[in-house]
Structures are given as structure tokens and as C-alpha cells.
């Protein structure tokens, strides 16, 4: 029977509970939204630091693959002077699977352009092991009917 600790972090009004190997829906949601912000709320000035912070949560064995993906994103963001911001519209959490689905609007500015607006749907898989939270997957899915 694992001991659970309830925590209310700064800037959040909902407490969450974690143990060595599990976390509740509130914790998973807050972590997933933080990961979304680190990857998507970026500019050419902030992208490197944000992506570096995100990489700390990727399991060491999977970091190289994610480094390549994030480096390609950062290069495009810097070369095209991109600013982007994600606005969530819905979040669903399946704590037993560590699965968080986040839908929202990604606004992207290229240089001095008006923003491009895209509807996005991300699926994040988080695992809690030995007191550490790992981001196992940060994927995007297409909601359009085939």
C-alpha cells in the first residue's frame, strides 16, 4: 500500500496526489499541460530553453530521437521567426493508462504575419516510476474522418 502525498503547486488551485509509481488525473493533466506549453508556446528566442526543459522529462533511452525532432522544430522556428501559442479547448485524462488527450487551437505567427490558426489534438503518455515522471509519448493525431 503506497503512501500518497497531496500537493497544490503554485499557479494551480487543484491539488493532486502522487505516489512512487502512480499519479492521479489532476497531476497528469497539469504535467501534460506544462509539457504542451514547453513545446508549443515558443518564439525564436525561447525555443531552445523550452525544448531543453522538456527533454529532461523524456526517458534517457528515448532522448536522442526526441532531440532530433525538437531540433528540427527549433531550426524552423528560428529560421522563420515563428511565435506560437496553444490554447486548450478540452482535456481528457485516463489515469490508469497515464494517457492525456488535449485538444485546442495553435496560433502561429511567421515574422510579422497575421496568425495562422490550426485545430490540434495531442496525445501524451506519462509514466510514473520510482518517484520520477517520464513523458513516454508526445504525439499528434488527426481528428478528420478518413
Is residue 5 situated within a structural domain? Answer: no
- What residues have CB less than 8 Å from 20, skipping those under 6 apart? 2, 128, 130, 131
Is residue 25 situated within a structural domain? Answer: yes
The pLDDT of residue 41 is above 60: yes
Is residue 107 situated within a structural domain? Answer: no
Domain that includes residue 49, residue range = 14-80+91-100+122-140
pLDDT at 8: 66
Is residue 28 situated within a structural domain? Answer: yes
How many domains are contained in the chain? 1
Q: What is the pLDDT of residues 74-84, one digit of tens each?
A: 999 999 999 99
Q: What is the pLDDT of residues 16-33, one digit of tens each?
A: 878 888 888 989 999 999
Is residue 59 situated within a structural domain? Answer: yes
Distance from the first to the final alpha carbon of the chain: 46
Q: What is the pLDDT of residues 73-122, one digit of tens each?
A: 999 999 999 999 999 999 999 999 999 999 999 999 999 999 999 999 99
Amino acid at each position: 500500500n503506497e503512501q500518497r502525498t497531496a500537493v497544490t503547486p503554485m499557479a494551480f488551485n487543484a491539488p493532486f496526489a502522487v505516489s512512487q509509481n502512480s499519479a492521479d488525473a489532476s497531476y497528469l493533466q497539469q504535467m501534460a499541460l506544462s509539457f504542451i506549453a514547453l513545446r508549443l508556446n515558443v518564439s525564436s528566442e525561447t525555443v531552445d530553453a523550452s525544448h531543453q526543459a522538456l527533454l529532461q522529462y523524456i526517458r534517457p533511452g528515448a532522448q536522442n530521437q526526441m532531440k532530433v525532432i525538437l531540433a528540427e522544430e527549433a531550426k524552423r522556428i528560428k529560421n522563420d521567426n515563428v511565435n506560437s501559442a496553444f490554447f486548450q479547448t478540452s482535456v481528457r485524462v485516463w489515469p490508469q493508462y497515464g494517457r492525456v488527450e488535449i485538444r485546442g487551437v495553435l496560433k502561429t505567427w511567421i515574422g510579422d504575419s497575421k496568425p495562422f490558426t490550426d485545430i490540434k489534438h495531442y496525445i501524451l503518455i506519462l509514466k510514473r516510476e520510482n518517484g520520477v515522471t517520464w513523458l513516454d509519448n508526445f504525439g499528434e493525431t488527426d481528428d478528420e474522418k478518413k
